[in-house]
Structure 1
């Protein structure tokens, strides 16, 4: 496969070559939380932190690097939320069955006869005042395609989705309706945004962090609203809701994305076959990739026109190996916790594999947001989690029951019935590019229409997630162009066969 410009557009693919500076470590923010380019202040924070430690780019120790990355994440989260400081729990109606601004799980009853994607509760939410934000009425301002302000309304909702065993679970989401007119073909599309890794604790869910100063998903929604799209940013099963977040669970994440689309359409009484797009990067890329291939069987009535799956973790065996020792290696613990929740028969085996420190670390990660996990485990190895000092992945490979779980979460075994864009960094230090490209090849072999693009940014500070984040920023325009072409019924320029 070769890189190819999406037909019907003249935009170049940005970000091909960038000079290295430790300041670009701020780019890791985008890959962790799936948001547009962080503000310059975040980049400056990294430079200041490194300089303050009295170290050069090649001689920082673990504590200095983690502190710099943490500072960048904090600064970028605040900037991406446009300095908002409101507490969602104080502004939302009590109709959602609890204060979602707290650490309590979403507690919304699911009546008998409820179907997947059904709305359980819905209420308007106000954006706080702040730079680029509206002051009342649930309005937000940003930059539109016409360089005017982007304004819109927001609602918090809870909907039903389906766990592996068929049981329904409540899931939270934020639904955005832009005031920007839709100038494309047909009716205004709805885009489902599946978030990147935010953590495993309920308080990390996008519906919980909405409009708080560390929220970053508002910026992602504004980017899409600026193109005229309705947007729903979804949580995942167990992330903000009952039970543990089943991180990287192919079935539950894919179902959640599809049910979020159903709920978004139902919220305004739109037809079930209204146009829908799916958008995600990193964990979100895996979620929408799963949804894309599950849609024909799980949600055949949805009219999905396009999917952007950036850096999708399609093969967890490869991903877990590569992420070990990186800044965000705590995500391994999220995955293991999720596996154990759905496969409790693995608990005795994991008890033998884990050291007391490893068991304690997994328990701590279950209550972490991503920044907590960076502080807890960043740049360390799972060799410190096991009783014999070997990496967790070596143990996984030796036990068929764990291999079976990983194989069951492989994405790429079913054909998406709509165009899909897969983008990956050739030197991604978190999500291996080879398995993302293999996903695209597998879909091509099944007869799907796939565009695969590789971003060839050279290796920069491996393990710091920079090469995971920069391709996402570079991919933003290409993904918007791809979506526009697909919704307009134009050719997306499939790279299958190249």
Structure 2
């Protein structure tokens, strides 16, 4: 692959440097807010809490019975800043749209659609971007921060916008809408990512800006977003076959949650396990998470439900599951079954795929990503692989996104990919914008 020429603005380089210091995909705003009323029936508050787009208790919108997945429930103009001091001319909308939960039931998910404000009217490429971990509180949702540049991955997304691509960003189930966030529950995440693309195509203002059902679609994400985008890839043929998906690029992907739990239990990032427990309990209430917790576990979990990633990770640092529970839920057959259902690699995506990972990833074991690549290749799916040597999980996200955009651009242009026969080392960054 030929590396693109660097972007010619010093300000963009400074923006990327700032983003590198923000520990992308691992933390979120530490701001507090009142807990949103939990509702497991698929209800969603109208996002009218000022420009921040938070939920307003008491104003609920149930998923319309006649609505189809991807239909717009509500939309309002917003704005988009990649970083606080970096404005953008792109148009943006905060949306709520119909999707499907892990049990096949209709729900409502919030998100954002960003479209470059240029002269393009023909079919414009559309990226449906899945963000990495931000936390569990509604104030952490990606859509809550695009207007002021506080959304963690806003600057990475800017690389796609500068190429003239539209971007749809899901908040996932339970971020910005009532109920707990279905964190790392694969089927719920995959449908939210695919339905965000559908919603972008159905947004009334999109057609005049070149986004339509004829738009080529790319699936992208890292970390939690790597799982979500990979799940979207595996399920799009059965769930959203009308989308013209040209490729899937997923990095730092937690393809096997058992392996991730084993690697992080009692470590610096044990908070991810706590978030996953809350997420699976949200999707499958019969798992009855609370019955396993001791007093310390209940207190930590109750606090985490309204916190962003940084606070959760700090509170749970070094904690083992056994310190928070009377019985380890991961040893129970019902929990093992549900966690196993979110394992990736059981289906072929059926589209060109890229997986990328650092060989020194301290959160998602390198071999977990390699195994997913092997599984997809064994199923006959052409899957490129990029290794980023010696980088942390977060730094690989920073360095990898530009390369992933270049890879996706080649898919939009119909160029051949290397496929399963080649492994590439990537050192440094590719420019994320041309």
What TM-score do you get using the length of structure 1 for normalisation? Answer: 0.72
Q: Which residue is equivalent to 2:40?
A: none
**Which residue of 226, 250, 259 corresponds with 1:309?**
250
Counterpart mapping for 1:197-236 below 5 A:
197-212=133-148, 214-236=150-172
Query: 1:497, CA displacement in angstroms?
Result: 7.3
Q: Which digits, 9 at most, give the CA deviation of each residue in 1:365-410, with x for residues without a partner? A: 111111221332234333421337xxx5xx51x3222221121111
State whether structure 2 residue 222 is matched by structure 1 residue 281: yes
**Which residue of 298, 301, 308 corresponds with 1:362?**
301
Q: Which digits, 9 at most, give the CA deviation of each residue in 1:264-293, with x for residues without a partner? A: 111124442421111100000000000001
Query: 1:452, CA displacement in angstroms?
Result: 1.2
Q: Is the 8 A contact 1:161 1:170 kept in 2?
A: yes
Q: Which residue is equivalent to 1:483?
A: 408
Q: Which residue is equivalent to 1:435?
A: 368
Q: Is the 8 A contact 1:210 1:217 kept in 2?
A: no
State whether structure 2 residue 278 is matched by structure 1 residue 337: yes
CA distance in 1, matches of 2:27, 2:272: 16
State whether structure 2 residue 396 is matched by structure 1 residue 471: yes
Q: Which residue is equivalent to 2:107?
A: 169
Query: 1:108, CA displacement in angstroms?
Result: 3.0
Change (3 A) 1:333 1:229: same
Change (3 A) 1:231 1:40: closer
Counterpart mapping for 1:82-481 below 5 A:
96=46, 98-99=48-49, 101-104=53-56, 107-127=60-80, 131-133=85-87, 140=88, 151-179=89-117, 187-212=123-148, 214-267=150-203, 268-269=206-207, 270-347=211-288, 351=291, 353-387=292-326, 392=328, 396=330, 398-457=331-390, 467-481=392-406
Query: 1:104, CA displacement in angstroms?
Result: 3.7
Query: 1:96, CA displacement in angstroms?
Result: 4.9
CA distance in 2, matches of 1:248, 1:194: 12
Change (3 A) 1:253 1:73: closer
Unaligned residue ranges in structure 2 (runs of 5+): 6-14, 31-44, 424-434
Unaligned residue ranges in structure 1 (runs of 5+): 1-5, 13-35, 44-68, 79-94, 134-139, 141-150, 459-466
Q: Which digits, 9 at most, give the CA deviation of each residue in 1:86-119, with x for residues without a partner? A: xxxxxxxxx9563263454683343331000001
SS of 1:280's equivalent in the other structure is strand
SS of 2:377's equivalent in the other structure is helix
Change (3 A) 1:379 1:278: same
CA distance in 2, matches of 1:213, 1:497: 38
CA distance in 1, matches of 2:116, 2:415: 24
Query: 1:316, CA displacement in angstroms?
Result: 0.4
Change (3 A) 1:181 1:455: farther
Change (3 A) 1:327 1:104: farther
CA distance in 2, matches of 1:131, 1:208: 17
Q: Is the 8 A contact 1:440 1:450 kept in 2?
A: yes
SS of 2:356's equivalent in the other structure is strand
Query: 1:433, CA displacement in angstroms?
Result: 1.1
SS of 2:419's equivalent in the other structure is coil
CA distance in 1, matches of 2:400, 2:241: 29
SS of 1:276's equivalent in the other structure is strand
Change (3 A) 1:127 1:253: closer
CA distance in 1, matches of 2:127, 2:369: 22
What TM-score do you get using the length of structure 2 for normalisation? Answer: 0.82
How many aligned positions are there? Answer: 390
Change (3 A) 1:323 1:103: farther
Change (3 A) 1:422 1:493: same
